[in-house]
Chain A
Amino acid sequence: MALDTVFRDQWGRVLATLVGILGDIELAEDAAAEAFAVAAERWPRDGEPANPIGWLITTARNRAIDHLRRRQVLADKTKLLARDIETGPQPPEALMDDAATIPDERLELIFTCCHPALSLEAQVALTLRALGGLTTDEIALAFLVPFETMSKRLTRAKHKIRHAGIPFAIPPDHQLPDRLAAVLAVVYLIFNQGWGGGRVDLAAEAIHLGRALADLMPDEPEALALPALMLLHDARKAARLRDGQIVPLDDQDRTLWDTRQIDEGRALLRRAMARGQTGPYLVQAAIADLHLHEPRDWRQIAALYQTLARQTRSPIVEMNRAIAVAEIDGPEAGLAILDGLDLDHYRYFHSTRAELLRRAGRDGEAHHAYRRALDLAQTEPEQRFLAGRLAETKSSVRREPGCDST
């Protein structure tokens, strides 16, 4: 196995265990980084140890003990190290044998990183750093902020965790629903950021995190439903663009869909549904699944959007319901729903409205709505798509000058 793969897969596990041992995320991160650097130097030469995780944890722990010996003042602030400082570091081999029994503490770590006492942007950055193993550089690139800004954000967050005493623990039952929702929101935010076309594949990172959550919380339907939702969306990625142009779902080349991701997503969705609760991620995953069927069952989709609208009270969900209703009862029925929504700032609201107006034959109004959508569009493919629509509706406007009264 290449070292990169080990690094990416094991970083979160190694770091979580170290935070558990050392009681401090910054100390743990420095020690883990050193251990991975030593591994990068030694493994290619000496061969990979039988148990890479055990080796990395032991090496990192020994490094941390070295540091702490030099900074004795910190010693009393760490949980288990006082004894280790007395007895000295152990050879990596000592832990290698029982490495299989090293507890997986990634869940504790993710609840620390997504604690609501941290700002949302700090939660996102910390989760990508601690669980995803992304470097500060990569996270800065992904969110289009300078390296220094991201570095300060991460440092400040780690200091707040230490000074404010944010726990390294899975929340008790009465807090779990809220706190799990916060964790899932962070992962989903990372996923949606990934569709922006940045230089780091955040969608893949989010799916990676989502799979880990599903493994760690197999009894939580929403923790199963979120990766299902992400996989079912992401499976269509290769078909969404053709020659830099956005391809609407009905025109997509289905052979480009990732069937392995669809199967994995559907399997997770089935497991989530079997638990008999309908949270917002479960409903969204079910909708994403329905969108993959041909022909699409718009009545079921509209009904699920109604359920979701009740759960979330989100006008964006209502907008999506309007699209489904337009497919069933015609564009005017969809437009009637859109008219009641306060979404003027939202770019997809205008493109959605424009599309329904165009289908309703109201090209003049559609033209204006496409113009508004184009003003708000953020990515080049979106801009090209909307510019094309704008040109189409313009020629209609010229043909029927009476339509353009606004």
Chain B
Amino acid sequence: MQYALLAYSPPEDTDRATRPIPGDLAALLDRPDVTGWARLHADESATTLRNDEERMLLTDGPFIDSKEYLAGLILIEADDLDGALAIAERMLQVTRPGTAIEVRPVIDGRLRGA
């Protein structure tokens, strides 16, 4: 099965774009069962568009306003939920304290090589 790991990070002061991916995490992202990943800019950079009764509403910021922000998306292949949770656990061991990972089964999708 394919799973999407959605990584939520606690707020930070430094510019995450200038910070390289830590070596431990980079190694995990190179695993063969990781089929794709994307690191996202912090949510100050987000713009949300919604369809409010046929009117396109544009707002500054993420759709869900919370302390943590969606920091990354990782696609993995695992036999079952326990397998996916095991990979997420490994990743949590090398991400910043306070990070949370939401595990979502993937229905279908397509990924182009970056």
Interface residues of A (CB under 8 A from B): 115, 117, 163-167, 169, 171, 175
Contact = CB atoms under 8 A, between A and B. Distances in A.
Interface string B76-114: 001111101100000000000000000101000000000
11 contacts: A115-B81, A163-B105, A164-B103, A165-B1, A165-B78, A165-B79, A165-B84, A166-B82, A167-B79, A167-B80, A169-B82
Nearest to B104: A164
Contacts of B103: 164
A169 B80 CA distance: 10
A167 B82 contact: yes
A117 B82 CA distance: 9
B105 A164 contact: yes
Interface in B1-23: 1, 3
Nearest to A179: B82
Contacts of A165: 1, 3, 78-81, 84, 105
A-B interface, 6 closest residue pairs, ranked by CB to CB distance from nearest: A167-B80, A165-B80, A165-B1, A165-B81, A166-B81, A164-B81
Interface in B36-72: none
Contacts of A164: 81, 103, 105
Chain A CB within 10 Å — which of B82, B103, B105 has the most?
A: B82
A19 to B, nearest CB: 14
Contacts of A175: 82
A362 to B, nearest CB: 49
Contacts, number: 26
Contacts of A163: 105
Nearest to B82: A167
A160 to B, nearest CB: 9
Given A115-B81, A171-B82, 19 more contacts: A117-B81, A117-B85, A163-B105, A164-B81, A164-B103, A164-B105, A165-B1, A165-B3, A165-B79, A165-B80, A165-B81, A165-B84, A165-B105, A166-B80, A166-B82, A167-B80, A167-B81, A167-B82, A175-B82
A390 B52 CA distance: 61
A98 B62 CA distance: 60
A212 to B, nearest CB: 23
A167 B1 CA distance: 12
Contacts of B78: 165
B82 to A, nearest CB: 5
B105 to A, nearest CB: 5
A316 to B, nearest CB: 31
A117 B3 CA distance: 14
B9 to A, nearest CB: 22
B83 to A, nearest CB: 8
A171 B84 CA distance: 14
A166 B3 CA distance: 12
A175 B85 CA distance: 12
Contacts of A117: 81, 85
A163 B105 CA distance: 7
A128 B79 CA distance: 27
Contacts of B84: 165
Nearest to A175: B82
Contacts of A171: 82
B106 to A, nearest CB: 10
A235 to B, nearest CB: 38
B100 to A, nearest CB: 15
Contacts of B79: 165, 167
Nearest to A171: B82
Nearest to A111: B82
A197 to B, nearest CB: 37
B73 to A, nearest CB: 17
Contacts of A166: 80-82
Chain B CB within 10 Å — which of A164, A165, A166, A171 has the most?
A: A165
B4 to A, nearest CB: 12
Chain A CB within 10 Å — which of B79, B81, B103 has the most?
A: B81
Contacts of B80: 165-167, 169
A158 to B, nearest CB: 14
Nearest to B3: A165
B78 to A, nearest CB: 8
A171 B86 CA distance: 12
Nearest to B78: A165
A166 B105 CA distance: 10
Nearest to A167: B80
A306 to B, nearest CB: 34
A157 to B, nearest CB: 13
Chain A CB within 10 Å — which of B3, B79, B80 has the most?
A: B80
